[in-house]
Chains A and B, each alone.
Chain A
Amino acid sequence: MRYVWATAVKDLRRRLRDPLALALWLGIPFAILTLLSLAFGGGEATPQARLLVADEDQSLVSGLLAGALGQGQLAELIQVEEVTPEEGRKRIGEGDGSALLLIPPEFGDAVLTSQPTRLTLLTNPAQSILPGILEEVLSLLVDAVFYLQRLAAEPLSTFSGGPPDGAATFPDQVVSSTSVEINQLVDGVSEYLFPPLLSVSVEVEEPEGQKTLNLGTLFFNSMFFLAILFIAQGMSDDFWVEKRQGTLMRSLTTPHGVTSLLAGKMLAAFVLLLVMAILGVTAGAALYGFPAARILPAALWAAASGLALLTLFTLLQLFATSQKTGGLLSTLVLFPLMMVGGSLFPFEAMPGWLAAIGRRLPNGWALEQFKAILGGGATAVGLLPAAAVLLAALVVGSWLAGRRLRGGFLAR
């Protein structure tokens, strides 16, 4: 046991002599995560559409329409900005804004007199989702205007021709009688109008047990496992390194067997993986609000998974004909694991059939357990079968590696 410990301490010392490699293993995935968070707004804020409105009518009706677009809960979704038609077209051409709504002159009169009129919505081709939302909202409002016109056309038509000849404004009597008429009308339909209040709410359906997941956490999980993959693949050529520098041969002339040597190396790798995992998951907890109680279980699972992946990559290296071939072979395996196994793109962003394959890959399977632990959907008892599978993989992998070390590896 003392030799196992001495080997682990020695290996950890060697790793710490190369802090840049450690920083890169963890740093690259987290740099990608930061970039993705910036690109997608961290997955927390609701995206907001900027609607440019060029109102050439400047009537009561056009004002109501433009105002309705930026009020209530719609204001959280749509930011309305008044512009001239020329400025609006120029800015949409430059990609500044989600859409431009052109309200033509005489729009209000046309609505009040039931005459045909046209609203024009120019959308930004560089955006796909936000202009679509604006189209839907505008369509709803146009419908609302239509029904308003149907209900209140008669009293409102009083105003369509403008004040009586020789007067600057409508007489008080006309205004009050029309108001009373509209009030009675609204009162009559209030049962149907209040409420059909229009409210917008955004809900993302989440799988059971993963209530805290969002875009940021999905990418966090993937990037975190990318780091684990990098560490496992990066450490996998250590037997070649030791062979090249002669220390492997010297180790095998000590009274201890290959098993002790392997155990020492695995202990060092586990400690290193655990420290990196704790750092990574703690950073994730700070960014995405995972409960502190889940940090250690998730980090332990990640470290154990990393160790199993390291064993897999080590086996590939040991059966290769040279260190160069071993590196190539492990990289060839790393890429599909990374791309399909959810360690670069989340399964949620993949086609169903591909995600199903990915979840069956070693890292994909481990990632799903990790997500369950971090999301609070895994219990210690529920994890036992998975832990048993992981342990079995480690035992079989180590046994094969030991056989290879005792066999032809040194002779190559």
Chain B
Amino acid sequence: MIEVEELRKEYGELVAVDGVSFTAEGGAVFGLLGPNGAGKTTTIGCVSGLQRPTAGRVRVMGHDVVLDGPAARAHLGVVPQDLALYEDLSATENLLYWASAYGLRGDRLKQRITASLEVTGLLDRAKEPVKQFSGGMKRRLNFACGIVHEPRVLLLDEPTVGVDPQSRVRLQELVKAQAATGTCVLYTTHYMEEAETLCDRLAIIDHGKLIAQGTLDELRAMLGERDLLRLSGRFPSETQIAAALGGREGVEIVQAEEESLIVAAPQASRELPALLAALTRVGAEIRETTMSRPSLETLFIKLTGKELRE
């Protein structure tokens, strides 16, 4: 279990994480979703004890990561965003070292190394130097090094970045399997689809602040099942647009700029002609229209006014 309370991390003038609070339970995957630079990796850094919080508290399995660091870290398994492997050593030698670092020895050590190699599909390449592995194999070994000691809490920082689709699916299966054993998994990503398919609970983070959290259903409900209309062209002021669209039930302006407009509306496909007519009446020149169904991405746009991959 991970408990994060009012976590704040500053680097000089820059506030990387600003008052983030969440709780991740065992046996589930908790997703931390946000664009690059949102503060996800800093949050993971504070949870893993790599970075000392400026303010707030982080507890892992009840142990404060600052005041009782070794005890907290003893329950952690970490799968960093970049590979963290000794490329000159074999897969077995890598696992041997990381398992030893968590106090495993004897038969249990051997058994866990074999099990980790088996679950990641690397048993037949166990003795080869890691530098001879493909990118996908290295990713799987990177994951194996994080779980070899059977941690109660597993931190994964964007483990699928730059990974081919096949290996990505394999890694996601491994993460789900790990959660199924009762492990608390904290998973950061900026892939919406990945978060939707993998995570039981989600927190959306942007500019260091947590802007929403809950299950996928709870988050979708925040949108009120509304579609998102993206219009490009030339538009009058937000006040004039609001006046033109005012009175229409459930219609909400998400973002209004001179050359683009994003509007959330229930059953937008049916309302589209009326909405376009109302906008034209106040002087809007519409060149292109795109409509999307409710998703985490539409929620993110609604909450932040921008696309996740910006």
Contact = CB atoms under 8 A, between A and B. Distances in A.
Are A and B part of the same complex? yes
Interface of A: 2-3, 6-7, 10, 13-14, 17-18, 245-247, 249-257, 410
For B70, B86, B97, B101, the residue with the greatest tally of chain A CB atoms inside 10 Å of its CB is B101
A251 B97 CA distance: 10
B256 interface: no
Interface of B: 48-50, 70-71, 73-74, 76, 78, 80, 82-89, 93, 96-98, 100-103, 105, 129, 145
Given A2-B103, A10-B86, A246-B82, A253 B76 contact: yes
For B74, B88, B89, B105, the residue with the greatest tally of chain A CB atoms inside 10 Å of its CB is B88
For A7, A13, A246, A253, the residue with the greatest tally of chain B CB atoms inside 10 Å of its CB is A253
Contact of A256 (B48, B71, B84, B101): B101
Contact of B70 (A2, A247, A250, A257): A257
Nearest to B75: A255
A299 B149 CA distance: 39
B74 A10 contact: no
Nearest to B129: A17
Contacts of B82: 246
28 contacts: A2-B100, A2-B103, A6-B96, A6-B97, A6-B100, A10-B89, A13-B93, A14-B86, A14-B89, A17-B89, A18-B88, A245-B85, A245-B86, A245-B87, A246-B80, A246-B84, A247-B86, A249-B80, A249-B84, A250-B80, A250-B145, A253-B48, A253-B49, A253-B73, A255-B70, A255-B71, A255-B73, A255-B102
Given A251-B101, A255-B102, A256-B101, 18 more contacts: A2-B103, A3-B100, A6-B96, A7-B97, A10-B86, A13-B88, A14-B86, A245-B83, A246-B85, A247-B84, A247-B86, A249-B84, A250-B84, A252-B50, A253-B48, A253-B49, A254-B73, A254-B101
Contact of A247 (B48, B71, B85, B96): B85
A18 to B, nearest CB: 7
Contacts of A250: 78, 80, 84, 98, 145
Nearest to A10: B97
A256 B78 contact: no
Nearest to A247: B84
Given A6-B97, A253-B49, A254-B101, A17 B78 contact: no
B86 A253 contact: no
Contact of B78 (A2, A245, A253, A410): A253
Contacts of A410: 50
For A7, A245, A257, the residue with the greatest tally of chain B CB atoms inside 10 Å of its CB is A245
Contacts of B102: 254-255
Contacts of B76: 253
B213 to A, nearest CB: 25
Given A6-B101, A250-B98, A17 B88 contact: yes
Contacts of B74: 255
Contacts of B86: 10, 14, 245, 247
B178 to A, nearest CB: 17
Q: Which 6 pairs of residues, A with B, have the shortest CB-CB distance?
A: A246-B84, A6-B100, A250-B84, A17-B88, A255-B74, A254-B101
A410 B45 CA distance: 11
A28 B49 CA distance: 44
Contacts of B85: 245-247
A90 to B, nearest CB: 61
Contacts of B88: 13-14, 17-18
A2 B97 CA distance: 11
Nearest to B76: A253
Nearest to B52: A406
Nearest to B80: A246
A412 to B, nearest CB: 13
B169 to A, nearest CB: 23
Nearest to B44: A253
Contacts of A13: 88-89, 93
Contacts of B98: 250, 254
A251 B86 CA distance: 12
Contacts of A249: 50, 80, 84
A250 B97 CA distance: 11
A153 to B, nearest CB: 87
A396 B145 CA distance: 34
Nearest to A251: B101
A5 to B, nearest CB: 8
A251 to B, nearest CB: 7
Contacts of B100: 2-3, 6
Contact of B84 (A2, A14, A245, A255): A245
Contacts of B145: 250
A262 to B, nearest CB: 14
B87 A256 contact: no
A201 to B, nearest CB: 58
B70 A256 contact: yes
A320 B251 CA distance: 57
Contacts of A2: 100, 103, 105
A158 to B, nearest CB: 92
